[in-house]
Structure 1
Amino acid sequence: MKLGISSYALTWSVGVPGYPAPLRILSACDLLEIAHSNGIGLVQFADNLPLHELSEEKLISLKELADSRGIEIEVGTRGTTPGHLLLYLRIAKILGATLCRTMILEKNLTNPLREIREVLPAFEESGVRIAVENHGLHTTKELASLFEAIDSPFVGCCLDTVNSFSALDCPKTVIQDLSPYVINLHLKDFDITRVDHQMGFMVLGKPAGYGKLDIDGLLKEVRNGQRDTNVILELWTPFMETVERTVLLEHQWLEQSLQYLKMTHFLE
């Protein structure tokens, strides 16, 4: 089990649609350098830093930089159409990645099931696993049934600890239903607070170790699993009046989170 960071740990630095861009937009190479400076040897590029927009020459340069810094790469995207997944398989092979995280974009699972089965032989031959993330569109039981139907060690769950609130599944339910299939973990801490007029709640991000997530229990459950699972830090940093103030905060949260995780669960 390795600790890594996602491009969704520094989402505001990459840029958030509908908000002003940061003064200096974080690039894929920048993320590698930040990981290296924090002693992290694993980076997952998600769909907010789309790798398919890079030329093959730039992908090769990214791989060379990662190798020089001793960093392993995981690739990420969204969607399950065969052409798109095979494109990311090619990118994974260029970058030496052995995991491709994706999300299902339609409510009915019939087509995604067929599409994943169609590309599965190519992924198996290349030694690259497909990690399907719970993203709130489906209940954890629906996703568990998908993994049961596919029944392959090369397809599993990218378990996100917060996303399934929108499907009315709390973190304990998510872990209970999906832990047998986990091959990738998005560790994202959170808090739930009442709004000031007391009529409603807000789910807000927190640095790892500073919220309500049972990180001890979660990592114990994942370590007891049958599959090799990396832990990828993500952050839901709240907007702080300006993008630049928000970027500053998310970098502070990144350092706080990594310090906590290294001290408590990933001792060097």
Structure 2
Amino acid sequence: MQLGISTYTYGWAVGVPGDRPEQPLDEHALFDRANAFTLRVVQFGDNWPLHALPANRLEALKQRADREDIVLEVGARGLTDARLQQYIALADTLKSKLLRFVIDEPNYEPLIEDVISLVRNAVPALEKAGITLGLENHDRLLAREFAHIVEQVGSNNIGICLDSVNSMGAGEGLAEVVRTLAPYTVNLHLKDFGIRRLPHQMGFQIDGRPAGQGLLNVPWLVEQIIPYERCRTAILEQWVVPEPNQVATIAKEVAWADESMAYLQQTGLFKNE
């Protein structure tokens, strides 16, 4: 399983709704950071929409990835037929063998039956291009519902992008989610987290931690995924707790990424090539 970074490793630097840096992290800075970590996998999530990139920048991105032997992984949000076909074509252009998709987007939450139909219709194009579609477990659907989608489509080119925290938004614990979705996992999002009781004692807060410093047992998680032999890449994602200002938050994000990668690489669980 190869280790990589993504646009969600540096979500604050890329920009979040309502808080965009004057100079957001660009594709070349992301490549530079991958090289600094001696990583060969870079994933572009839906927070950095590749379909909005001008053709010349897309071509330059592809050329640099080819030149530096970096494997690209493409991601998107909003599973419609048009968006799916658009991103299959993009993934094919960029030689991405993984297409990671979040089903929902604001004001769009398709029925499970419609998701099955959409994905089933895309199977011939995915198989022709040799691309695997990884549906990311997000916080509306339960793990068993994601498993149902994959089973009903019934193609080896369909699987799950397993995020270690997202399903908590649907009221599910990690052990339950992993038990259900490990057999279908084609991509892993390593996102460490902490849970703390609020000062007023009326509830808990879940937020991010550097990898190895929170509640995520990374060796256990990887050990659950490996036996199924479908997952080829593991991507560091971060929920960095913000500081009072943007500059300090982005600096903290960089520091967390450095700490996280130092921990992940010393585990011996992942390969760089």
TM range (shorter): over 0.9
What corresponds to 1:138 in structure 2?
141
CA distance in structure 1 between the aligned counterparts of 2:188 and 2:13, rounded to whole angstroms: 22
Which one is further off, 51-60 or 186-195? 51-60
Distance 1:107 1:122, change over 3 A: closer
Q: Provide Cα deviations, 1:146-185, integer angstroms capped at 9, x if missing partner.
A: 1111111100000000000111111111101100100001
CA distance in structure 2 between the aligned counterparts of 1:57 and 1:23, rounded to whole angstroms: 22
SS in 1 for 2:140: coil
CA distance in structure 2 between the aligned counterparts of 1:73 and 1:267, rounded to whole angstroms: 16
What corresponds to 1:90 in structure 2?
89
2:48 is the counterpart of 1:44: no
What corresponds to 2:10 in structure 1?
10
Contact 1:60–1:94 under 8 Å retained in 2: no
Question: Out of 201, 205, 209, which is 1:206 matched to?
Answer: 209
For 1:64, the aligned partner's letter is Q
What corresponds to 1:65 in structure 2?
64
Contact 2:91–2:99 under 8 Å retained in 1: yes
- TM-score of the superposition, structure 1-length normalised? 0.96
2:223 is the counterpart of 1:224: no
Cα distance, 1:267 vs structure 2: 6.4
CA distance in structure 2 between the aligned counterparts of 1:68 and 1:208, rounded to whole angstroms: 30
SS in 2 for 1:17: coil
Cα distance, 1:78 vs structure 2: 0.8
What corresponds to 1:113 in structure 2?
116
- TM-score of the superposition, structure 2-length normalised? 0.95
The number of residue pairs the alignment matches comes to 267
RMSD of Structure 2 on Structure 1 (CA): 1.2
SS in 2 for 1:77: strand
CA distance in structure 2 between the aligned counterparts of 1:116 and 1:107, rounded to whole angstroms: 12
The ranges of structure 1 where at least 4 consecutive aligned residues each deviate by more than 6 angstroms after the TM superposition are none
For 1:2, the aligned partner's letter is Q
CA distance in structure 2 between the aligned counterparts of 1:94 and 1:51, rounded to whole angstroms: 11
State percent identity of aligned pairs: 39
What corresponds to 1:99 in structure 2?
98
Contact 2:42–2:72 under 8 Å retained in 1: yes
Contact 2:162–2:189 under 8 Å retained in 1: yes
Contact 1:182–1:229 under 8 Å retained in 2: no
Question: Out of 152, 166, 170, which is 1:167 matched to?
Answer: 170
What corresponds to 2:238 in structure 1?
235
What corresponds to 2:79 in structure 1?
80
Which structure 1 residue ranges, 5 or more long, are not aligned? none
2:188 is the counterpart of 1:185: yes
Cα distance, 1:192 vs structure 2: 0.3
SS in 2 for 1:157: strand
SS in 1 for 2:225: helix
CA distance in structure 2 between the aligned counterparts of 1:160 and 1:121, rounded to whole angstroms: 26
CA distance in structure 2 between the aligned counterparts of 1:62 and 1:267, rounded to whole angstroms: 24
Q: Provide Cα deviations, 1:56-97, integer angstroms capped at 9, x if missing partner.
A: 332111011112222100000012211111111111111111
SS in 1 for 2:77: coil
SS in 2 for 1:232: strand
Contact 1:23–1:244 under 8 Å retained in 2: no
Contact 1:131–1:156 under 8 Å retained in 2: yes
Cα distance, 1:246 vs structure 2: 0.4
Contact 2:188–2:231 under 8 Å retained in 1: no
